[in-house]
Structure 1
Amino acid sequence: MALIPATILTGFLGAGKTTLLKRLLEESHGQKIAVIENEFGEENIDKDLLVTQSEEQIYQMSNGCVCCTIREDLRQALQLLAAKKRQGLLDFDRVVIETTGLADPGPVAQTFFMDDEVAENYLLDSIITVVDAKHATQQLNDRQEVRQQIGFADQIFISKADLVSEPEVHELQHRLKHMNPRAPQKVVHFGQVNLNEVFDLRGFNLNAKLDIDPDFLKEDEHAHHDHDHVHGEDCGHGAHCTDPSHDHGHAHGHDHAHHHRYDDDVKSFVFRSDRPFDAARLEDFLGGVVNVFGPKMLRYKGVLAMQGTERKVVFQGVHQLMGSDLGPEWKADEKRESKMVFIGIDLPQDILRKGLEQCLV
């Protein structure tokens, strides 16, 4: 049986997760989706979507989808759904896990790699984070789990943007980009999103062939070099921009002031080098870093040039779980450059930078 793709849907209380999920379930896309809801969540899928209820808390929905309410353990819920699919008792194409608003997505993601039975049946596709534009600034200031939800995201949807001014939305987007430059952002209205922006993003293939992200650390919409909040020595903003229309030397006339010094503990750190890595030294260093700082490392990813191979090496990880794979060959006219991004809580940038430089040939 082919691996079942799974998507984690997260976001703080009232951000709009259930609204987004309902839209996905009600669209006529022909896909059968199994939804796993944590029953301690602040909202449940509307009961009018549900047709039957079994003792195992698995609901059949009117559109052919399935809803499973977790009473105990996510691992058990996933195993139960996979078993029923194998036995022909349930028919579904993919799984969406809606976390509680207070959840740290890390342990949810780790379930897919730590448990052999789950790993044999499922492929974690991506983590989707919904952000409430109206309350996000205060939540980011006050709640660690909100900052973690941003750090883990493969795709960020900003809801309720109509309740705040355009400059406030821009300010929020800039802050989110500073925390997680690898997750595309999109402002959505009442959960209206295209399916291809939610499913098959392949943001989390630790143990499968990893795709190279063509927009890896792509310059965001505006250059931010002139703003006086601190990004760190090399945050990636502007550093990789080749668009001649971006004049990095002046402000773009934003009346929204980017003068806030965000003191978020979740930050991104980018490392680049056009010198190749020594594979053994890099493996030793990253292994040590993950052992020491793993709990604070939310997501990390890289496309690397290695000595002794003509192919790109792709690696990524979550907390202490790290995987790598060989990618395509470097093209003859392509610049061989390693690019790595680390997203985590109070990561020691100096240690990372110096250690990585010592792994270069």
Structure 2
Amino acid sequence: MKYFSSLLDHLLVGAIDADTVLLDNGCICCSIRGELKEALMRLLSRRQRGELPAFRRVLIETTGLATPGPVLGTLLGDAQLRHHFRPAFVATVVDALHAERQQAQHPEWIAQVAAADTLWLSKTDLVAPEQATRLRALLAELNPVARQLDAPSAASVPWLDDLADGASRDDTAGWIARVAAGTLRPRAGARPVPARIGGTHAQQLAGTGARSFCLVFERPLEWFTLTLWLTLLVHRHGDRLLRIKGLLGIAADGFAHGQPTVLHGIGHLMHPPEHLADWPDDDRRSRLVFIVQGLSEADVRASWEAFERFYAPREAEPNPLTSKA
């Protein structure tokens, strides 16, 4: 299933066969969540009756002005949908030729970049190499956990497996480890991203009001304290939290360094936690990556430290916390 924007700002849902369903109440990101659910459940019903092939994936393509958060909220917030569907990945196409103008004119640009697991750069052949280099560095600053790939030509549209490559697989730990270590790239199969550069790039980054940073915790975290802090943080600053992604050690019996747990969040929405059977590498520290807009790293860090001091057992010292951008 795909969503396309039309000249009338409608969205067409193209089913696997020739049948289509028109969702005509406006943009998918804010006003057709009920119809989105109905369309997905209708596809599932037809699959169960044998009217459609036994599809395993549904591809949702939104209008270019949509923000991913409300769509993910529909999928995660509805119990019936959660039982049958789960979000696998978010892929965003970045127009290298018009990125600077789109960034300046459309706030949705930042939200789409921040929410992405994979960033496909299009029209890189139409810009100077220096401009493409600056764009890649800017994207790496805004979303250090996203994979960057060059989009193929229109004559060679990638298959879904290629779109999802590296995004829906369990590589969260690897991404976060590279962010915490300050090594954003390279990854196998991905184009290297340059280190931070000044000049126009720095001005562009400052102009977005967005930045990323990683908080590193040296000891296992108490689940109650962490979730209460995140709940309050999301409630107060959800509009400024473009993305949260973390690999955390949660204090639990049988785990000397805490049970490894993956957290994802976009805006006011937090995904259900994913508990791992074991740590993916030898680094047992907890790491929490934030992509924010209009919110400082110092404020987030101070909030956690104050919160943990208040809720920590009186005989225990607060959890040592380091921070790396």
Is the contact between residue 217 and residue 240 of structure 1 (CA under 8 Å) also seen in structure 2? no
1:239 alignment partner in structure 2: 182
Amino acid aligned to 1:216 = W
Q: Does 1:70 align with 2:23?
A: yes
2:267 alignment partner in structure 1: 319
Amino acid aligned to 1:60 = D
Quick one: distance in 2 between partners of 1:305 and 1:86?
A: 40
Correspondence 1:202-351 to 2 at 5 A: 203=168, 211-217=170-176, 236=179, 239-240=182-183, 258-260=201-203, 262=205, 263-309=207-253, 310=255, 311-322=259-270, 323-330=272-279, 334-351=282-299
2:17 alignment partner in structure 1: 60
After TM superposition, give the deviation of residue 319 of structure 1 in Å: 2.4
Is the contact between residue 272 and residue 338 of structure 1 (CA under 8 Å) also seen in structure 2? yes
Scaled by the length of structure 1, what TM-score is found? 0.68
Quick one: distance in 2 between partners of 1:178 and 1:39?
A: 33
Identity %: 27
Name whichever of 146-155 and 334-343 sits farther off: 334-343
Amino acid aligned to 1:239 = G
Quick one: distance in 1 between partners of 2:232 and 2:218?
A: 23
Q: Deviations over 1:170-189 (max 9, x none)?
A: 10011111111111011123
Query: Which of the numbers 130, 142, 146 marks the counterpart of 2:93?
Result: 130
Name whichever of 76-85 and 317-326 sits farther off: 317-326
Q: Deviations over 1:84-137 (max 9, x none)?
A: 112222223321111111111211111101222222221111111001110001
In structure 2, the CA distance between the partners of 1:267 and 1:36, relative to structure 1 (3 Å rule), is same
Quick one: distance in 2 between partners of 1:200 and 1:241?
A: 18
Amino acid aligned to 1:189 = P
Amino acid aligned to 1:112 = L
1:179 alignment partner in structure 2: 142
Quick one: distance in 2 between partners of 1:335 and 1:75?
A: 41
| Equivalent pairs, count | 283
Q: Does 1:166 align with 2:166?
A: no
Amino acid aligned to 2:289 = V
Question: Which ranges in structure 2 are unaligned for 5 or more consecutive residues?
Answer: 26-34, 187-193, 309-317, 320-325
Q: Does 1:355 align with 2:322?
A: no
In structure 2, the CA distance between the partners of 1:185 and 1:57, relative to structure 1 (3 Å rule), is closer
| More RCO (CA 8 Å, sep 6+) | 1
Is the contact between residue 3 and residue 14 of structure 2 (CA under 8 Å) also seen in structure 1? no
Is the contact between residue 268 and residue 343 of structure 1 (CA under 8 Å) also seen in structure 2? yes
Q: Does 1:145 align with 2:116?
A: no
Q: Does 1:154 align with 2:117?
A: yes
Amino acid aligned to 2:276 = G
Is the contact between residue 218 and residue 286 of structure 2 (CA under 8 Å) also seen in structure 1? yes
Is the contact between residue 215 and residue 288 of structure 2 (CA under 8 Å) also seen in structure 1? yes
Quick one: distance in 1 between partners of 2:115 and 2:10?
A: 22
- What is the RMSD of the two structures over their aligned residues, measured on CA atoms? 3.3
2:65 alignment partner in structure 1: 102
Is the contact between residue 158 and residue 186 of structure 1 (CA under 8 Å) also seen in structure 2? yes
Quick one: distance in 1 between partners of 2:198 and 2:291?
A: 29
In structure 2, the CA distance between the partners of 1:59 and 1:211, relative to structure 1 (3 Å rule), is closer
Question: Which ranges in structure 1 are unaligned for 5 or more consecutive residues?
Answer: 1-33, 46-55, 204-209, 220-235, 244-250
> Secondary structure at the residue paired with 1:196?
helix
Name whichever of 305-314 and 254-263 sits farther off: 254-263
Higher helix share: 2
Query: Which of the numbers 80, 89, 92 marks the counterpart of 2:51?
Result: 89
After TM superposition, give the deviation of residue 195 of structure 1 in Å: 4.2
After TM superposition, give the deviation of residue 37 of structure 1 in Å: 3.5
Amino acid aligned to 1:213 = T
In structure 2, the CA distance between the partners of 1:213 and 1:58, relative to structure 1 (3 Å rule), is closer
> Secondary structure at the residue paired with 2:170?
coil
Quick one: distance in 2 between partners of 1:185 and 1:265?
A: 21
